[in-house]
Structure formats: structure tokens, C-alpha cells
Amino acid sequence: MNNRGHEFGGDWTEEKLKCVSKYLHSYAQIMKDRDFHFAYIDAFAGTGYRELKNDEDVEIPRFLAGSARKALEVKPPFREYIFIEEDKDSYTELKNLTNEFPNHNIACINANANQYLTDLCRSREWQTNRALVFLDPYGMQVEWQTVASIAKTRAIDLWLLFPIGMGISRLLRNDGKIQPSERQTLDQFFGRDDWFDEFYQLARQGSLFTEEDELEKTDDILEEIKQYFLKCLESVFAMVAKNPLPLRNSKNSLMYLLCFAAGNPNAPKALEIAEDILEKMQNTLQLTLPI
């Protein structure tokens, strides 16, 4: 078993997967009695499992189910599973899942998730198809055009890991002096460029001829980023959960927000179920910092 690149996450990874799994179970239960062909699409699928970081005195590594495997364990099963993984070695391992679950309809794809998903959203017929997409990147690999393509189908429910601390807030320098390439990265990530005015405020006015104005990040910047990203999602999705799950590392730093959005305005139950799961998860996390 290759463990390259898949020693990731701590307790927050379990919480993330637990949250998405709960939704998957509810979703499959509801969809089994409907006429739709419904698929689970894991666009950053990994290998199907993850290795727990070793304790120094524990020699045997421990493997836990990753998102793809957890989805295959859902009963009743989805009609179709699409697992996308860009890394060749991880993809090779991922394919073993097709042998382990021979009765499931599984397609493993070695591709860039953004490209593949955008094409799929365009080419599939969404009158009779439904899907649940999980976007679980390490950082800022999800492109806005992918999110917008998913929303446009009005037939996909989306769980998305938003790298609020892992990516976004690291790029936002305290003094607002952001390199053009980083600005472009943020523009592409949010699909718009008005984030700068939302995230920065005037700290000190420059004098008339000599100095530039000094900027600083707005107070409670993490809350600002969260609200801004929810606004971006609301601009394309019919429904967006107001209470994304904050995921923190062992030092209590906020790393990600697990967000939910649904494209079908005629299925309000989806939002209700997701917000309920998120609320219960949050209550059990005993958070110490507000967001």
C-alpha cells in the first residue's frame, strides 16, 4: 500500500468525513424512492483511505476509510460513483476500490477535477440526473468556474471544503500589499475582484504629497472572509447553508470551513438536512473560538 501524500488530517478530517457521510446516508435514503439516476462524485478522491499519522511508539500504521470508501459503504448505494484523482499513484490505488466493491457502478478518472467536472456538468442531461459532489482539496485547487458550473445544473448538491486559513488568509498580507500574481489567484478563486475592499480598511491616511495610505485587515477578518465566500456561493446557488462547519487544527487555528450549497430551488429539504447536520456537528465540537 502506497502511503505517499495520504498522511493527512487529524480529528478535523474525521469530523469533515462524518458530516458528509451523514448527508450521503440521508440523500441516498430519499433518492432511492425517486425516479432520478443519482450519482456520488468525489472530485478530489485521494486513494480511498487515509493513513493516521504515526505515534512514535506505534510502529504499525493505521488506515482509515477516506471519503470515497465511506461513500461506497452507504446503504442503499448510489446508482453511480465517479471518483476523480489527478495524482497517478493515488489514482492507481483508488482503482482497487472497483475490485473491493464489484457490485457498485464505479468510474475512476485520472484527470484534473476542474476540467472534468466542468465538462460533465455541461454534457450530462440534468432533467433525470441528480448528483452529490464533494470537493475536498488540500488548498485552493477548486476554480470558481467549477463551482459555477455545478450550480448551473440546478441538480447537484455540493459539499465543499473552503480553505479559509490554509489558503485565503495566508495570502492576505496584513498591510494589504498583495503581489499581482496573488491577487490574480484570489480573483480566480472567488470569481470576482471586489474582495480587497471587503477585507481591508484604512489604518492611516497618507500625507498629501509624500506617503501612501496605510491599510490593515478589517476587524474579525475570518468572519469577513466567511461571509464573503457565502455571498459568492449565494450568487450562483439556490440555497447555501448559513452555518458551515469550522475545522480547526490541534492548536485551535481555523483551517477550513466545510460548506454546503444546493442547486435545486425545489428541494428545500436538502438545505434543512444539511444545516441540521452542521449544527449538531458544531455542538459536539465544543468550539472555543467564535466564527
Ligand X SMILES: C[S@@+](CC[C@H](N)C(=O)[O-])C[C@H]1O[C@@H](n2cnc3c(N)ncnc32)[C@H](O)[C@@H]1O
Work out how close the CB of 49 gets to ligand X at its nearest, in angstroms, rounded to a whole number: 7
Work out how close the CB of 134 gets to ligand X at its nearest, in angstroms, rounded to a whole number: 7
Sequence-ordered list of residues with C-beta below 8 angstroms from that of 123, at least 6 positions apart, any chain: none
Work out how close the CB of 61 gets to ligand X at its nearest, in angstroms, rounded to a whole number: 15
Question: What is the distance in angstroms between the CA of the first residue and the CA of the last residue of the chain?
Answer: 39
| Residue number with CB closer to ligand X (186 or 215) | 186
Could you list the residues that contact ligand X (CB under 6 A)?
Answer: 8, 17, 44-46, 50, 66-67, 84-87, 90, 112-114, 136-138, 141
**Residue of this chain nearest to ligand X (CB atom):** 66
* Burial class for 62, CB neighbours closer than 10 Å (0-12, 13-18, 19+): exposed
| Residue number with CB closer to ligand X (15 or 136) | 136
Work out how close the CB of 32 gets to ligand X at its nearest, in angstroms, rounded to a whole number: 24
Cβ 18 vs Cβ 285: under 8 Å: no
Helix (H) or strand (E) holding 30: helix 11-31
Residue at 152: amino acid letter = K
| Residue number with CB closer to ligand X (45 or 257) | 45
| Residue number with CB closer to ligand X (50 or 226) | 50
CA 142/CA 56 separation, integer angstroms: 35
Residue at 132: amino acid letter = L
Cβ 52 vs Cβ 64: under 8 Å: yes
Work out how close the CB of 86 gets to ligand X at its nearest, in angstroms, rounded to a whole number: 3
| Residue number with CB closer to ligand X (54 or 174) | 54
Work out how close the CB of 90 gets to ligand X at its nearest, in angstroms, rounded to a whole number: 5
CA 218/CA 215 separation, integer angstroms: 9
Cβ 258 vs Cβ 274: under 8 Å: no
| Residue number with CB closer to ligand X (44 or 199) | 44
Cβ 23 vs Cβ 105: under 8 Å: no
Other CB atoms within 10 A of residue 76 CB? 11
Cβ 163 vs Cβ 254: under 8 Å: no
Work out how close the CB of 167 gets to ligand X at its nearest, in angstroms, rounded to a whole number: 13
| Residue number with CB closer to ligand X (90 or 264) | 90
55 grid coordinates: 505515534
